[in-house]
Each structure stands twice: as C-alpha cells, then as structure tokens.
C-alpha cells in the first residue's frame, strides 16, 4: 500500500498544528524512506518478471509495458511528493532543510545545497551501465542481441544523456554561484554595526531573517534541478531501462543512509 496519501496528510497536519520543524520533517522523512523501500521491492519484482520474459524469448505485451510505465510514474510521484513536502517546510525553516539533522554524517559529506548533487545521477547511470555490461552480457551485445537493461544504451541515447549532463552541470554551477553570493550577502548583513560576536542575538536575527528568503529560493532551484534531472533521464531511457535506473538510485540512497546511521551509532558507542 502506498504511503503517499498518509505522508501528505501528515504534512498538512504538522504545518497546521505548527509542529516543530525538525521533528515533523524527520517523521515525514522516515515515512518516506519506508515508502521508498516498499517501492524498491516492487521495482525489483517488475524487473525480474520482465527479465524472465526476455530470457524465454517472449515479446513484452502491452499490459506488461503498461505495468512498467505505471510503476515508473508511481516512483516519480513519490519523488514529487518528497520535494513538495520539503518546499512547504522550507517556508518555515529553510536552515533546517539546508542542514538536515535527520541525515547521517556520511550523507552530509555528499550534501549539495540540502540534497544530492544532480550531476551525480549521470555518474550513477554510467556506473550502472558498466556493471550490467560486465554481468555476462557482453557476448549478447556482440551478437547484436538486446539485453534491455542499462548496458543496452543506444548511441542516440548516449548522445542525449551527454547533452543533458552538460546542461545540468551548467545549471548546477549557476546555482552554486548564487549560493556563494547569498552567503556573502548574509555575512555582510551580519557584520553591519559591529562584530557579529558582539551583536545581541535579536539584532543578528533581525539582520539575517530577510536573507532567508533568498536561501529558500536557491534551495527551491536546487530541488527543481534534482527533480528535473531525474525526470529527464527517465525520459531518455526505455521503460525497463528506467526501472533499472530507479532501482539503482533507490538502493544507493537507502544503503548510504543505513550505512551512515550505523557508522554514527558506532561512533557514539565508542566515545
């Protein structure tokens, strides 16, 4: 059962009741991770089913293609739901969204403006393509047989991915530069009237509060680019290739989160 409805309900209730931003979004994020894991299992099931038909030399029926497209749409809706929730919470506490306490120290090391760097999606795509090519399928490709997965990217697809990657890196750089300028502006605002360390807390807050709107806009641009990049890659891939890519993306995210949380827990136990 999908948790999108319950997540949306929780989001609306938390905002209406003015729940603490950190704890309310943490709860939403935990629910979203559970949903992502459930959806990952569904993606794997569909992938195995398609592979079985392919190995039996059976053509994919219209209903099977519809099943692939359905789960792809559902997965993208899940990501849209996450960024919609994040946008809503950013209006209440953008700093919490930029420095998420619900993520592990390991995830923090890869953080770019409150989330994953869009260009990383291309590294994942090429990496997964290479892994599937090494998975005993090189012979099939040499024989001209289609493997149907990410090792089977056509020259036209590779060209489109390359063009998308170039555009994404350019936009990524522009957003990074906007953030640098915004941080510089905030520093200058904080220093107005004396040294920051010598200013009273309310004066510091009054000077920096208006600047948070700029941070909110930059975070929105970053999240928009993340979602746009994901959708654009999916649009280039065939349905079964898209399923393989979404599996890889979910596995990377969930494993990185779990591994990071375990590392943090072990570190606390050792201290």
Backbone torsion region of residue 237, taken as left when φ is above 0, otherwise alpha when ψ lies between -120 and 50, otherwise beta? beta
Identify which of 105, 103, 107 has the alpha carbon closest to the alpha carbon of residue 29: 103
What pLDDT, on the 0 to 100 scale, is given for residue 58? 52
Report d(CA 210, CA 215) in Å as an integer.
10
What is the DSSP code string of 72-85? Answer: HHHHHHHHHHHHHH
Q: Are 151 and 241 in contact (CB under 8 A)?
A: no
Query: Residues 181-219: pLDDT tens digits?
Result: 998 887 776 555 555 555 455 555 666 677 788 999 999
Burial label, 18 (beta-carbon count in 10 A; 0-12, 13-18, 19+): exposed
Q: What's the Cα-to-Cα distance from 40 to each of 36, 64, 208, rounded to whole Å?
A: 6, 18, 41
Report d(CA 230, CA 47) in Å as an integer.
19
Token pair for 82: 């996450």
What pLDDT, on the 0 to 100 scale, is given for residue 172? 98
What pLDDT, on the 0 to 100 scale, is given for residue 86? 94
What pLDDT, on the 0 to 100 scale, is given for residue 256? 94
What pLDDT, on the 0 to 100 scale, is given for residue 15? 46
pTM, 2 dp: 0.81
What pLDDT, on the 0 to 100 scale, is given for residue 23? 66
Which residues are paired to 115 by β-bridges?
Answer: 112
Report d(CA 216, CA 131) in Å as an integer.
38
Query: Residues 60-89: pLDDT tens digits?
Result: 567 778 899 999 999 999 999 999 999 999
What pLDDT, on the 0 to 100 scale, is given for residue 245? 96
CA torsion angle for 92, 98, 101, 103 (degrees, to 10)? 130
Q: What 3-state DSSP class applies to 55?
A: helix
Query: Residues 94-151: pLDDT tens digits?
Result: 999 998 888 999 999 999 999 999 999 999 999 888 755 454 444 444 344 445 568 7
Burial label, 202 (beta-carbon count in 10 A; 0-12, 13-18, 19+): exposed
Residue 232 has pLDDT above 60, yes or no: yes
Query: Residues 10-62: pLDDT tens digits?
Result: 554 544 454 545 568 889 999 999 999 999 999 999 998 887 766 555 545 67
């Amino acid at each position: 059962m999908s948790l999108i409805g319950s997540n949306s309900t929780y989001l609306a209730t938390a905002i209406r009741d003015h729940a603490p931003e950190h704890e309310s979004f943490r709860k939403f994020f935990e629910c979203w991770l559970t949903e992502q894991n459930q959806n990952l299992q569904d993606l794997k099931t569909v992938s195995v089913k398609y592979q079985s038909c392919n190995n039996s030399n059976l053509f994919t029926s219209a209903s099977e293609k519809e099943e692939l497209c359905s789960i792809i749409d559902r997965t993208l809706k899940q990501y849209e739901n996450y960024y919609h929730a994040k946008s809503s919470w950013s209006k209440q506490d953008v700093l919490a969204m930029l420095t998420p306490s619900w993520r592990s120290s390991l995830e923090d090391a890869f953080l770019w403006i409150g989330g994953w760097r869009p260009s990383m999606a291309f590294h994942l795509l090429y990496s997964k393509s290479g892994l599937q090519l090494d998975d005993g399928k090189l012979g099939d490709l040499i024989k001209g047989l289609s493997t149907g997965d990410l090792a089977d990217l056509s020259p036209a697809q590779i060209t489109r991915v390359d063009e998308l990657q170039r555009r994404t890196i350019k936009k990524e750089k522009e957003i990074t530069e906007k953030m640098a300028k915004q941080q510089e502006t905030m520093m200058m605002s904080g220093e107005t009237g004396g040294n920051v360390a010598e200013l009273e807390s309310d004066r510091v807050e009054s000077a920096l509060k208006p600047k948070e709107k700029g941070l909110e806009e930059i975070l929105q641009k970053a999240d928009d680019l993340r979602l746009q990049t994901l959708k654009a890659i999916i649009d280039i891939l065939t349905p079964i290739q898209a399923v393989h890519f979404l599996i890889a993306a979910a596995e990377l995210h969930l494993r990185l989160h779990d591994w990071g949380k375990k590392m943090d827990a072990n570190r606390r136990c050792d201290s």
